[in-house]
Amino acid sequence: MKRTGIFYGSSTGMTEGVAHTIAQKLGIASDDIHDAARLSAESIAPYEALILGSSTWGCGELQDDWYDAVKVLKSANLTGKTIALFGCGDSESYPDTFCDAIGLLYDELKETGCRFTGNHVATDGYTFSSSVSVVNGDFAGLPLDETNEADQTTARIEAWVKSLDL
């Protein structure tokens, strides 16, 4: 497995908790899990692969820490790096912007020379009406609904980590 760092943006702790669960499933050390608020070119440099997670806020917006973090990522050299995305959303209260943060990160990074993995998650089994995270018929990363579908989180994470090419 490539040297992998996980970077998350979390306002309530939900996305942070998911980041730690993903790390555990992949055998990634806690030292390699980082808050997006502290993301810098130096913090991503040692990693060949980055797993990026954000919750979706408001009407389909990134978690606040990602606005500056995306600027850092786009100015860094991501050529050859592998990127996987995950996100948390509320499909019941916000069915028309469910996990949009995944799609926003994908759109921001798709022209940086990175290679995506884990970006073909089927929409089957999810309840939502629209999401910018759906690209070519699949989610561009792992969407999770800890508010309404927490009982499916473990199985979804397990299936997703098996699909990752790290």
pLDDT band at 135; cut points 50, 70, 90: very high
Structure confidence by residue, pLDDT tens digits, 139-160? 999 999 999 999 999 999 999 9
Provide long-range contacts, Cβ within 8 A and 24+ apart, for 20-29: 21/153, 21/154, 21/157, 22/51, 22/53, 22/86, 22/157, 22/161, 25/157, 25/158, 25/161, 26/1, 26/161, 26/164, 26/166, 27/1, 28/4
Structure confidence by residue, pLDDT tens digits, 48-67? 999 999 999 988 999 999 99
Residue 115 is predicted with a pLDDT of 97
* CB count in 10 Å sphere of residue 106: 20
Q: Where are the domains of the chain?
A: 4-163
CA–CA separation, 159 and 141 (whole Å): 12
Residue type, 74: K
Give kind and range of the element (H or E) at residue 157: helix 153-163
Residue 58 is predicted with a pLDDT of 87
Measured at the CA of 125, the angle between CA 16 and CA 15, to 5 degrees, comes to 5
pLDDT band at 166; cut points 50, 70, 90: very high
The SS3 assignment for 154 reads helix
Residue 17 is predicted with a pLDDT of 97
Choose among 106, 162, 157, 161: nearest CA to 134: 106
Residue 121 has pLDDT above 90, yes or no: yes
CATH code for the part of the protein at 4-163: 3.40.50.360
